[in-house]
């Protein structure tokens, strides 16, 4: 009954590979997000998405693309992985018309070797 779930929890892959991280929320929220947390613990938003719009942080390389098959899922696809992509990636969700805090997933630790 986890509210926001991510898979996998750990992902180790070689440079140049393409990988995906899945995120699902069962809270009925209408907006989902991807955040990147680097080695210095800085949480930086990458994407936010609801039924109406996708907002992309302009600093995110176009190798990263969110894909939302339905309202409860927002998967993160990464092409041509680079060493600098190593980080913890957190999915989160919220209800846009209510001023509530976000609920985060448990995170995916991506290591590119």
Partner 1 sequence: GENVEQHPSTLSVQEGDSAVIKCTYSDSASNYFPWYKQELGKRPQLIIDIRSNVGEKKDQRIAVTLNKTAKHFSLHITETQPEDSAVYFCAALGGGADGLTFGKGTHLIIQP
Site for partner 1 in 5-64 (CB under 8 A): 31, 33, 35, 40-45, 48-50, 52-53, 55
- The residue (of 70 and 97) whose beta carbon lies closer to partner 1 is 97
Alpha-carbon span 67 to 19, nearest angstrom: 13
Structure tokens at 38: 């680097």
- The residue (of 77 and 107) whose beta carbon lies closer to partner 1 is 107
Alpha-carbon span 113 to 111, nearest angstrom: 6
Q: How far is the CB of 15 from partner 1 (least distance, A)?
A: 25
Provide the 8-state DSSP code for 73.
Answer: B
């Amino acid at each position: 009954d986890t509210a926001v779930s991510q898979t996998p929890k750990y992902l180790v892959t070689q440079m140049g590979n393409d990988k995906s991280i899945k995120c699902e929320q069962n809270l009925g929220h209408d907006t989902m997000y991807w955040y990147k947390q680097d080695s210095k613990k800085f949480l930086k938003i990458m994407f936010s998405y609801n039924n109406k719009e996708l907002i992309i942080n302009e600093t995110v390389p176009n190798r990263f693309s969110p894909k939302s098959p339905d309202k409860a899922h927002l998967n993160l696809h990464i092409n041509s992985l680079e060493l600098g992509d190593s980080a913890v990636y957190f999915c989160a969700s919220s209800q846009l018309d209510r001023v509530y805090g976000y609920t985060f997933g448990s995170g995916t630790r991506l290591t590119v070797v």
